[in-house]
């Protein structure tokens, strides 16, 4: 199995820098997921690994070898794109076997390998069809099959499931997780989808404006974000980020005025009187037995079946609460939302986490 080493990778288009000093180690067999807002550089970084974008500066190693100037075909990577990029005039079998044909493999070997991979991906009955006669999920499986056939050391996926409907996305997500286990391959995967990132990744890389903000196991990022950006980005619905000012410091903790909510709470933490901070509370942090209390007005309640969320206003802010933690929420009515102060996260004025 093959690892990757990115050392201070940068990319500029003209004078405009879009990737800034990205450093990352991907261990052999890992499933690393890049997430971040549109335009933050996820695809660019992936394409730099694939060799489809030139590296402006820094070093890229795959399996311990510097690959900066190595031809994409010789990097040992297989890439799967959002658009599938299948040849419309070729059958499924021809699409899948294309790279082996180009490499001059004997037809009998190509047929055998295509048959084997088709079996794994449940594509056997479709081998003679053209892409136009396939569903989105089937096309995506062909694209993945084509990548597998090349026996790459590293799989690179750029939003492979984003063109599929919700149900198919779940099926294919499980398929990809199974495939990863089966092949034991190293994977770098780009997605917009929180659930894909949380469920597939051994580690998530959060990117923002071309910089790596934090790298960690999904639940570590969820419970222990380094800054307000990661706190707000990981988790759906998102964490409530409430501006506050430190009014007092005592043995009980920080006495905070929650700006915009017209409320005061005491939470554990370290800061100085007068500091502006941000209080982070996840929707599920609300709990009827909590010691801290907010008075809010419920605006909208969403029932999703297993879970309900309330959007509740206090002053200028709208908070999202898991309705489980706030009994008897009804739209248009007041509610008392309680939380355990020990669950609140604190961030300084620049957005960096303040740890107790
Ligand atoms: N060929 C190019 N020339 C100039 N700028 C580019 C080029 N390709 C990408 N960019 C810029 O680089 C930045 C990163 O783009 P990239 O496609 O990597 O974002 P992304 O994170 O994949 O976004 P999305 O989630 O929308 O796919 C963007 O600001 C984009 O406009
Ligand atoms: Mg992209």
Question: Is the pLDDT assigned to residue 216 strictly greater than 90?
Answer: yes
Q: How confident is the model at residue 313 (pLDDT cuts 50, 70, 90)?
A: very high
Q: Confidence class of residue 337 from pLDDT cuts 50, 70 and 90? A: very high
> Is the pLDDT confidence value at 263 over 80?
yes
Most confident of 56-60, 315-319, 327-331: 56-60
Q: Which residue is it, tokens 């999904």?
A: 218
| Closest CA to ligand 1's atom 2 | 13
Closest by CA position to 171, among listed 201, 196, 134, 149:
196
Rg of the chain over CA atoms, in angstroms?
Answer: 24
Would you say 32 and 26 are in contact if contact means Cβ atoms under 8 Å apart?
yes
CA distance 168 to 183: 22
pLDDT at residue 84, rounded to an integer: 81
Q: Where are the chain's structural domains?
A: 4-233, 240-354
pLDDT > 80? residue 356: no
Distinct helix (H) and strand (E) counts, the chain: 8, 20
Tokens of 213: 């903000």
Tokens standing for residue 157:
């996926």
Q: Are 278 and 242 within 8 A, CB to CB?
A: yes
Kindly report the protein residue whose alpha carbon is nearest to atom 1 of ligand 1. Answer: 13
pLDDT of residue 192: 87
Residues lining ligand 1, CB < 6 A?
13, 18, 36, 38-44, 192
* 226 C-beta neighbours (distance < 10 Å), count: 19
pLDDT, position 328? 74
CA 152 / ligand 1 centre spacing (Å): 25
The pLDDT of residue 262: 83
Task: Say whether pLDDT at 320 is over 80.
Answer: yes
Sign of CA dihedral 57, 62, 64, 69: negative
**Digit-coded pLDDT (tens) for 67-123:** 999 999 899 999 988 888 899 999 999 999 998 998 899 999 999 999 999 988 889
pLDDT of residue 137: 84
Regarding the domain delimited by 4-233, which CATH topology (the fold level of the hierarchy) does it fall under? Rossmann fold (3.40.50)
User: 89 to each of 52, 133, 244, 313, how far by Cα in Å?
Assistant: 24, 11, 61, 56
Q: Cα–Cα distances in Å, from 76 out to 141, 154, 185, 241, 251?
A: 20, 7, 12, 43, 58
Measure CA 129 to chain center.
34
For residue range 110-164, list pLDDT tens digits in order. Answer: 999 999 999 888 899 999 999 999 988 889 889 989 988 888 999 999 998 887 7
Q: What is the pLDDT of residues 48-66, one digit of tens each?
A: 999 999 999 999 999 999 9
Is 312:257 a contact under the CB 8 Å cutoff?
A: no
Calculate how far, in angstroms, residue 208's C-alpha sits from the geometric centre of ligand 1.
12
Predicted local confidence at residue 33, as pLDDT? 98
Q: Which pTM was predicted?
A: 0.92
The domain over range 240-354 is classified in CATH as 2.40.50: yes
The CA distance from 233 to 225, in Å, is: 10
Helix (H, G, I), strand (E, B) or coil at 242: strand
What are 54's two structure tokens? 């030139």
Residue 300: both structure tokens together:
């909208």
User: For the chain, what is the mean pLDDT?
Assistant: 93
Identify the helix (H) or strand (E) that includes residue 136. Answer: helix 136-149
CA of 158 to the centre of ligand 2 (A): 7
| Structure-token pair, residue 59 | 């070093």
Residue with CA closest to ligand 1 atom 25:
38
Residue 305 pLDDT level (bands cut at 50, 70, 90): confident
Ligand nearest to the CA of 210: 1
Closest ligand 1 atom to residue 159 Cα is 27
Query: Percent helix, strand, coil in the chain (nearest 5)?
Result: 30, 35, 35
Of all protein residues, the one whose alpha carbon is nearest to atom 6 of ligand 1 is: 13
Distance CA 223, CA 4 (A): 27
Q: Which ligand is nearest to the CA of 34?
A: 1
The DSSP letter of residue 352 is B
By percentage, how much of the chain surpasses pLDDT 90? 76
The mean pLDDT value for 5-18 works out to 96
């Amino acid at each position: 199995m093959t690892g990757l080493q990115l050392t201070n990778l940068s990319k500029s288009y003209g004078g405009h820098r879009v990737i800034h000093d990205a450093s990352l180690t991907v261990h052999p067999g890992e499933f690393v997921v890049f997430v971040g807002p549109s335009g933050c550089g996820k695809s660019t970084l992936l394409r730099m690994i694939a060799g489809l974008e030139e590296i402006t500066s820094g070093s890229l190693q795959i399996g311990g070898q510097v690959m900066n100037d190595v031809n994409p075909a010789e990097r040992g990577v297989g890439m799967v794109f959002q658009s599938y990029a299948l040849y419309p005039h070729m059958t499924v079998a021809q699409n899948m076997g294309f790279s082996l044909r180009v490499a001059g493999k004997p037809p009998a070997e190509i047929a055998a390998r295509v048959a084997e991979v088709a079996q794994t991906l449940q594509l056997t009955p479709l081998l003679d069809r053209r892409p136009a006669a396939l569903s989105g999920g089937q096309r995506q499986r062909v694209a993945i099959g084509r990548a597998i056939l090349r026996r790459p050391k590293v799989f690179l996926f750029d939003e492979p499931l984003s063109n599929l409907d919700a149900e198919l996305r779940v099926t294919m997500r499980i398929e990809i997780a199974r495939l990863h286990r089966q092949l034991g391959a190293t994977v770098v995967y780009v997605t917009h989808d929180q659930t894909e990132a949380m469920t597939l990744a051994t580690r998530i890389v959060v990117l923002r404006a071309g910089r790596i903000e934090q790298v960690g196991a999904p639940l570590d990022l969820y419970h222990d974000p380094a800054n307000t950006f990661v706190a707000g980005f990981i988790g759906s619905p998102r964490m409530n980020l409430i501006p506050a000012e430190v009014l007092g410091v005592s043995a009980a903790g920080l006495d905070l005025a929650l700006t915009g909510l017209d409320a005061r709470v005491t939470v554990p933490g370290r800061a100085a009187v007068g500091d502006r901070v941000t209080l982070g509370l996840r929707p599920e942090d609300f709990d009827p037995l909590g010691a801290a209390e907010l008075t809010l007005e419920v605006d909208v309640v969403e029932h999703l079946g297993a879970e309900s969320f309330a959007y509740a206003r206090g002053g200028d802010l709208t908070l999202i609460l898991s309705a489980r933690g706030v009994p008897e929420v009804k739209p248009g009515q007041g509610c008392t939302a309680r939380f355990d102060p020990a669950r609140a996260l604190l961030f300084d004025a620049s957005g960096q986490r303040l740890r107790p």
